[in-house]
Amino acid sequence: MKILITGKGGREHALAWKAAQSPLVSKIYVAPGSAGMTCNLPQVQRVPINDTDNAALVHFAKTEQVDLTLVGPENALVNGIVDDFRQEGLSIFGPCKAAAQLEGSKLFAKQLMDKYGIPTARYAVFSDYEQALSHVQREGVPIVIKYDGLAAGKGVVVAQTEEEAVLTLQAMLLHSRFGEAKVVIEEFLQGPEFSLMALVHGETVVPLSVAQDHKRAFDGDKGPNTGGMGAYCPVPIISQKTIEQAVKTILQPVATAMVAEGNPFTGILYGGLMLTNAGPKVIEFNVRFGDPETEVVLPRMKSDLIQTILDLLNGKKPILEWHEDVFLGVVLASAGYPEMATKGSPIEGLENVNNLVFHCGTENRDGQWLTNGGRVLFVTGKGKDVAAARENAYMAVEQIHCKDIFYRRDIGIQSL
Ligand code: AMP
Ligand code: GLY
């Protein structure tokens, strides 16, 4: 089989690595991919097409007779890549444009959860600044303000003070550069967060191993929110009972609701969930593999990912097998991330590392690895528990040297 994977980061490297283990797969195209993905995987070939160029990707998949396409980043999904592929009779694993709204529009997700009684934070929606302001004054802080639409660099603000809430509303509603702006204002929830992804096809929901990522840039959950600075899987503080409850009260009802709404969901449904005193509640949905969660979840998966997806698409409910080990990974990020990122700094010592390393943002010039993005490398470790996996991962991290890289030293520590 020929597989096409869109995207170029650590998540896509992990997808290519996992697909390469399948005996069904002879060729893996990555568009646009990165040099790091091809160095240990002879089946992988880069294709110079941007992951948001839906028309060129359709054309390529048709011409090369690609058997299955996996989509990395969300933008293409929200822009209807799945609809475009299906129209041409091409097989692709992801949600259609209408179903991708679960991630693309926070309001769509909230309204669906409301209608079907899926547990999430109470919310109200505003496009008028004055009304939003009086709502915040009535409800008090802390309060959560979310821009409606793909984050576009603004995203989510957990306002701890009224002043912060006012500034956020001004920025999102009065000074918006995105036309008609809307915000969702939410009740502040408390509890440990976890990421529960599931393979979904219509009403069939197959949960993956639970993971947790670390969103803040610096140790002790300080600093700005990032795409994620590390992750581990599974998560000891999230019990099997909680996972079953989350599937029963959240993931399965969402899949069923999407079918009932005439927009059946196919692909990865990612629940960003919080374990509150009243049980798991939804913080957000994503409609694709999480990054960096995928880089620890796929190494823990024993089953063949490609066979699993094919079974699911053919109407069979796959039963997944997992390794016993805990997997943990640390992001090495460029100095300045997430605001800006330095590029072009030499990375030394990669060749001494035997652990699984995924390339998030590197390039290779004449055999020399260089930084080339905000998140640069994802270094994994494994062990019988989180402590052992941490130790194993950080031993590998210490082999790698680059003057413009930083990383968190406390990945997985809260759970020990
Ligand atoms: P998101 O970009 O939607 O994942 O949100 C970023 C972070 O904001 C989440 O990981 C949470 O830590 C926090 N957050 C979002 N919504 C809420 C909420 N209703 N209550 C508390 N924290 C929240
Ligand atoms: N790690 C969070 C995300 O993939 O959005």
Q: Which of 102, 122, 158 to mutate to test the pocket of ligand 1 (most atoms within 8 A of CB)?
A: 158
CATH label, 122-187, candidates 3.30.1490.20, 3.40.50.2300, 3.40.50.280, 3.40.640.10: 3.30.1490.20
Q: Which ligand is nearest to the CA of 286?
A: 2
Is the CB of 193 inside a 6 Å radius of any atom of ligand 1?
yes
- Could you tell me which residues come within 8 angstroms of residue 106 by beta carbon, excluding any fewer than 6 positions away? 146, 147, 148, 149, 184, 284
Place of tokens 């409910």: 317
Is the CB of 157 inside a 6 Å radius of any atom of ligand 1?
no
Structure tokens at 257: 């609701």
CATH of domain 326-415: 3.90.600.10
**Which DSSP letter does residue 271 get?**
E
392 vs 175: CA distance, rounded Å: 47
Q: Which ligand is nearest to the CA of 283?
A: 1
Which atom of ligand 2 lies at the shortest distance from residue 291's CA?
4
**Which DSSP letter does residue 350 get?**
G
Over the stretch 67-95, which tens digit does the pLDDT of each residue have? Answer: 999 999 999 999 999 999 999 999 999 99
Q: Which ligand is nearest to the CA of 110?
A: 1
| Sign of the CA dihedral with 98 first, then 103, 105, and 111 last | positive
How many residues are given for the chain? 416
Over the stretch 183-227, which tens digit does the pLDDT of each residue have? Answer: 999 999 999 999 999 999 999 999 999 999 999 999 999 998 899
pLDDT band, residue 355 (cuts 50/70/90): very high
Ligand 1 centroid to residue 283 C-alpha, Å = 6
pTM of the model: 0.95
Query: What does the pLDDT read at residue 399?
Result: 98
Q: Which ligand is nearest to the CA of 290?
A: 2
Query: What does the pLDDT read at residue 177?
Result: 63
As to burial, measured by CB atoms within 10 angstroms (0-12 exposed, 13-18 middle, 19+ buried), residue 343 is middle
Pocket of ligand 2 (CB under 6 A): 213, 228, 286, 290-291, 293
Which atom of ligand 2 lies at the shortest distance from residue 293's CA?
1
Is the CB of 189 inside a 6 Å radius of any atom of ligand 1?
yes
pLDDT score of 319 more than 60: yes
68 vs 89: CA distance, rounded Å: 11
- Return the bridge partners of 197, or none: 270
Strands (E), 208-325: 212-213, 216-218, 222-225, 230-233, 266-276, 279-286
Report the topology of domain 2-94. Rossmann fold (3.40.50)
224 vs 233: CA distance, rounded Å: 23
Whether 326-415 and 193-313 are alike in CATH topology: the answer is no
409 vs 1: CA distance, rounded Å: 41
Tell me whether strands 222-225 and 279-286 are parallel, antiparallel or unpaired: unpaired
Structure tokens at 5: 């994977």
Query: Which residue puts its alpha carbon closest to atom 13 of ligand 1?
Result: 158
Per residue, the 3-state secondary structure of 179-229, as one string, reads: CCCCEEEEECCCCCEEEEEEEEECCEEEECCCEEECCEEEHHHEEEECCCC
pLDDT score of 114 more than 90: yes
Query: What does the pLDDT read at residue 154?
Result: 56
Query: What does the pLDDT read at residue 416?
Result: 42
Over the stretch 234-252, which tens digit does the pLDDT of each residue have? Answer: 999 999 999 999 999 999 9
Q: Which of 146, 195, 378 to mutate to test the pocket of ligand 2 (most atoms within 8 A of CB)?
A: 195
Strands (E), 221-263: 222-225, 230-233
Q: Which of 75, 213, 284 to mutate to test the pocket of ligand 2 (most atoms within 8 A of CB)?
A: 213
- For domain 193-313, the question of CATH label 3.30.470.20 is answered with yes
Which atom of ligand 1 lies at the shortest distance from residue 283's CA?
16
Domain ranges of the chain: 2-94, 122-187, 193-313, 326-415
Ligand 1 centroid to residue 103 C-alpha, Å = 14
